[in-house]
Amino acid sequence: MRYKTINIFLFIFIFSMIVLNCNATGLEDVDAISAILLDVETGQILYGKNIHLKRPPASLTKILTTIVALEEGDINDIVTISERAAYQEGSSIWLKRGEKIKLGELLFGVMLSSGNDASVAVAEHISGSLEKFSELMNKKARKIGARNSFFLNPSGLPQVGHYSTAYDLAVIMKYALQNKVFRKITSTKYITIPWEGHEWDRGLRNHNKMLWSYQDITGGKTGFTRAAGRCLISSAKKASREVIAVVLNCSNDWYELRKLLDYGLNDFQRVDVLNQGDIIHTIKWEESREKKLNIKVNKSIKIVIPRGEKIKIKKKISFDSDLELPINKDEILGKLSIYHKGYKIKTVNISAANDLNYNSIFLRMVNKMKCWFEEIG
C-alpha cells in the first residue's frame, strides 16, 4: 500500500456573536521604506512592506550582537576595554582603555544607550576580533532563518556589505525574546552600572521611548545613520499574544510603529487549529492486523486571523516515503502543512498513533527474524 500526499479541507468558523463589534478595520500604508508586523507565537506576517528589501540596519544590529554574546559568553565575565573599543565613533557609554567591566553590564550599554564602544568591547571579548565575531553573527542569523542579512560589525555603523531586512530583523528579535536575560535587558528603562575611576556610576537610559509611552511594550531597539535613516523595532504583548513591529528608513518612526503594534494586538485573534496528538487522518489497511492506521500531529497548531473573519484551512499531508508494514506507534511518517488563503503558514511532523503489523503470523515472524539479523549484522 502506498500513500504519498493527501489533501484535506478543514473548515473553522468563528461565530459572530463571540466577536461582535470586533471586526478588523485593516491598516493604512505604513510610511517607511520597509516595514513588518510579526506574530511571535505563530511567526505569521500580519503586515508587510518590502520585507525582504536589503537595507542598512543601523543599531538594530545590536540585537543580534547581544543575543550572540549571551549565548557564547558569561554575563559575569570581566571584560578589559581595548583601545579600539574605547575610541569607537558615534554613540558611546564613555569606556576607557584598560577599564574592566562585567559583560552583562556592557550589554546594558549596548542595548539601552546603543554604545558602539560597548559593542566592540563585547565582540572582542567573545571572539578576539570583530571579524571573528561577525562570523558568529552571520552563522547565528542563518541558523534562525535570517538568510537575507550579512553583518560585518557588531554596532551597525555604516559599512559596505553590512545589511539586513525588516523580515530578518523581526526573526532575530523573535529568537532573542526567548532568552530571559535578553528580555530583561531590552525592557529595562534605566539602570546604573559601574564607572571605573569615577566617584559615581554610569546612568544608562533606554533610547526606546515606547517603554514610557506604550503600555503593552516588552522591548525593542532604536537605530539611526544617514545611510539607514530612522529605524525602530519593538515588541508588545497584550493578554497572551505578543507581536513584533519593524520600520526601516521611517521619518515618523514612533507614530508608524505604534500604529503597527495597535493593529497587531487589537485587530487579530488566535485560533487553535489542532492540538498535539490530534488524529488528522485514518488509513484503512485491510492487509494489516489492526486494519487501520491513525495518523496524529506531533505539535499543536495555532494561527492568527483578523477578528470576526471566517476562514477555510487546507491541510496537506506529505509522507516521507511509501508507507509499508510494519509501522511502529510514534514513528515519524512525514509532514503536515497548513495553508490559509493559499499561503503555507505552518509545517509540523506527523506520526503513527498506533502500531500496524502484518496480518499473517508467518510474515510477522519473518520480519522479526529480519530485524534480528540486521541488528547483529
Q: For the segment 233-288, what is each residue's pLDDT rounded down to a tens digit?
A: 999 999 999 999 999 999 999 999 999 999 999 999 999 889 999 999 999 988 88
pLDDT higher than 70, residue 14: no
Q: What is the spatial distance between Cα 140 and Cα 109, in angstroms, rounded to a whole number?
A: 22
Contact of 83 with 97, CB cutoff 8 Å:
yes
Band of pLDDT at residue 358, cut at 50, 70 and 90: confident
Q: Provide the mean pLDDT of the chain.
A: 89
Give the closest residue to 49 by CA, choosing from 304, 263, 211, 338. 263
pLDDT score of 361? 60
Q: What is the spatial distance between Cα 235 and Cα 186, in angstroms, rounded to a whole number?
A: 10
pLDDT score of 55? 98
pLDDT higher than 50, residue 17: no
Q: What is the spatial distance between Cα 166 and Cα 52, in angstroms, rounded to a whole number?
A: 7
Contact of 217 with 260, CB cutoff 8 Å:
no
Point out the least confidently predicted range of 151-155, 285-289, 358-362.
358-362
Residue type, 182: F
Q: Which residues are catalytic?
A: 59, 62, 114
Q: What is the spatial distance between Cα 332 and Cα 350, in angstroms, rounded to a whole number?
A: 6
pLDDT score of 6? 53
Q: For the segment 18-53, what is each residue's pLDDT rounded down to a tens digit?
A: 222 233 447 889 999 999 999 999 999 999 999 999
Full-model pTM: 0.84
Assigned CATH topology for domain 5-15+272-376: Peptidoglycan synthesis regulatory factor (PBP3), Domain 2 (2.60.410)
pLDDT higher than 60, residue 123: yes
Assigned CATH topology for domain 34-266: Beta-lactamase (3.40.710)
Domain ranges of the chain: 5-15+272-376, 34-266
Q: For the segment 163-187, what is each residue's pLDDT rounded down to a tens digit?
A: 999 999 999 999 999 999 999 999 9
